[in-house]
A and B are shown apart, each in its own frame.
Chain A
Amino acid sequence: EPEVTQTPSHQVTQMGQEVILRCVPISNHLYFYWYRQILGQKVEFLVSFYNNEISEKSEIFDDQFSVERPDGSNFTLKIRSTKLEDSAMYFCASSVGGSYNEQFFGPGTRLTVL
């Protein structure tokens, strides 16, 4: 069964450093998402992406964040200058269609900012 994959599984970085989290969505999916989950808290929406542009973003997704689909398979989340409070699990998701379509989540990347 096709699945969303994410790399790395765990990323440790120093405060102020840039990180890039990578995702490979399911191949025939057209809609892509990033969510994050701070330890012990609920999953929070960050951004949705369709047709090579951001569809919607939350207030968490400030100027330090950016997303890109550099080729036909990868979908990346970049944090330009990490802060301690960026430490969280970051989940990528994809869906074949937009509204009312099941979003399939990857296993997540645990980001630890020291």
Chain B
Amino acid sequence: GESVGLHLPTLSVQEGDNSIINCAYSNSASDYFIWYKQESGKGPQFIIDIRSNMDKRQGQRVTVLLNKTVKHLSLQIAATQPGDSAVYFCAEGRDKIIFGKGTRLHILP
């Protein structure tokens, strides 16, 4: 079965609102998670990562939350901008990265 997976294939958010993209994983032993952004025609771009000894990590306008009890992580994007429009992947793995299916984020004007 799939080790990481996203809940929604698409998400539409009003510009300026916060976006929350969710992801579930199945392997309790997973200890490293990454969020990637992929714009059309480009390769995946690292956004933020988190290790399993943490439950929250913040970057610039992004926050990742990890709930090991329910094996769930989320990516929060504050004040969503048109440039945030992309496909977002959650992934896990210290060496080889196992990607989940993406969520396409649409920004509504």
List residues of A whose CB falls within 8 A of some B CB.
4, 33, 35, 41-45, 48, 55-56, 58, 91, 93, 98-100, 102-108
Contacts and interface: CB of A to CB of B under 8 A. Distances in A.
Main secondary structure of the interface of B (DSSP, over half): loop
B72 interface: no
Contact of B96 (A4, A45, A100): A45
Given A42-B102, A43-B89, A100-B32, A56 B44 contact: no
A73 B99 CA distance: 27
B46 A104 contact: yes
B94 A56 contact: no
Nearest to A91: B43
A104 B91 CA distance: 14
Interface residues of B, number: 21
Across the A-B interface, give the 7 residue pairs with the lowest CB-CB distance, nearest first: A105-B43, A99-B94, A43-B99, A45-B96, A42-B99, A91-B43, A105-B44
B44 A48 contact: no
Residue with the highest number of chain B CB atoms closer than 10 Å, among A58, A103, A104: A103
A41 B32 CA distance: 22
Contact of B95 (A98, A102, A106, A108): A98
Contacts of B102: 42
Interface in B56-83: none
14 contacts: A41-B101, A42-B89, A42-B100, A43-B44, A43-B97, A45-B93, A45-B98, A55-B95, A58-B96, A100-B49, A100-B51, A102-B49, A105-B43, A105-B44
Nearest to A33: B96
Contacts of A98: 94-95
Nearest to B2: A42
Interface in B1-54: 32, 41-46, 49, 51
Given A100-B32, A103-B46, A44 B99 contact: yes
